[in-house]
Amino acid sequence: AQSVTQLGSHVSVSEGALVLLRCNYSSSVPPYLFWYVQYPNQGLQLLLKYTSAATLVKGINGFEAEFKKSETSFHLTKPSAHMSDAAEYFCAVSLGSNFGNEKLTFGTGTRLTIIP
Amino acid sequence: ETGVTQTPRHLVMGMTNKKSLKCEQHLGHNAMYWYKQSAKKPLELMFVYSLEERVENNSVPSRFSPECPNSSHLFLHLHTLQPEDSALYLCASSQVMDDDYEQYFGPGTRLTVT
């Protein structure tokens, strides 16, 4: 079984400041981890993913995340926030990519607000 | 069309109506999913189809009935819904067994039950 905890349902940062969105996971096997972004009235778009290769993962729009097994964490960061980053962010985990393990379990999401 | 498409984008229906949501994936994937996204709740996986066979039904009420006629199309048939069924319904697809695995999502159908 697997689960995801996202600390902070709302995060506000000033434009140009560091963005840090937290995600901790629980998994019975080495996990696959994902960050998705959702803009209003849209579906989910993949930002980045960890699938057992490099632990520091770079994604789109300047975001990156680091897989830390010892901390069971996969926090999302961006050095400098932009107004267009305002959205809802979801962390998700799966047990792998084979049939039966590929299902995603999502966190409750973090709404990111950018202060001008 | 590219990626995952969903129609309609918005749907308003009464509790006695019957309607269907449609999802189509243009990615050649072998698995498709229905999710429900309600306000202040995590995304809920409703149904999974792998190789056109339903492999999971997460205790979804029978008023929701999925159909997967082929690997590219997925439907969600709705009948006698309740107001609490109002939500954003998201479809996704993936290529299972792919080392570079990810799920691709459609834009969703915003359903309002009156």
Which residues in chain B are contacts of A108 at CB distance < 8 A? 41-42
CB atoms within 10 A of CB A66: 15
Structural tokens at position B22: 């449609």
Q: Is residue B1 very low, low, confident or very high in pLDDT (cuts 50, 70, 90)? A: low
CA-nearest residue of chain A to B51?
A: A99
- 3-class DSSP assignment, residue B85: helix
Contact A11, A111 (CB under 8 A): yes
Instruction: Sort out which chain B residues have CB atoms less than 8 A from A97's CB and list them.
Output: 96-99, 101
CA dihedral B50, B52, B56, B59 (to 10 degrees): 150
Q: Please give the helix or strand (H or E) that residue B4 lies within, else none.
A: strand B4-7
Residues of B in contact with A102 (CB under 8 A): 31, 94, 96, 101
Pick from A41, A43, A99: which is nearest to B105 by CB? A43
Question: Nearest to residue A38, comparing CAs of A75, A86, A102?
Answer: A86
Residues forming beta bridges with residue B27, ordered by sequence position: none
User: How far is it, in rounded angstroms, from Cα B66 to Cα B77?
Assistant: 6
Q: Which two tokens stand for residue A92?
A: 């998700």
How many Å lie between the alpha carbon of B80 and the closest alpha carbon of chain A? 25
pLDDT at B62 over 80: yes
For residue A9, the SS3 value is coil
Residue B49: name the closest of B77, B71, B27, B22 by CA.
B71
Above 80 in pLDDT, residue B2?
Answer: no
Cα separation values, B3 from A50, B18, B28, B76, Å: 22, 27, 10, 19
> Could you report the per-residue pLDDT of A17-61, keeping only the tens digit for each?
999 999 999 988 889 999 999 998 889 999 999 988 789 999 999
Average of per-residue pLDDT across B15-42 = 92
Partner-chain contact A97 B96, CB within 8 Å: yes
pLDDT in tens, A57-96: 999 999 999 999 999 999 999 999 999 999 999 999 998 7
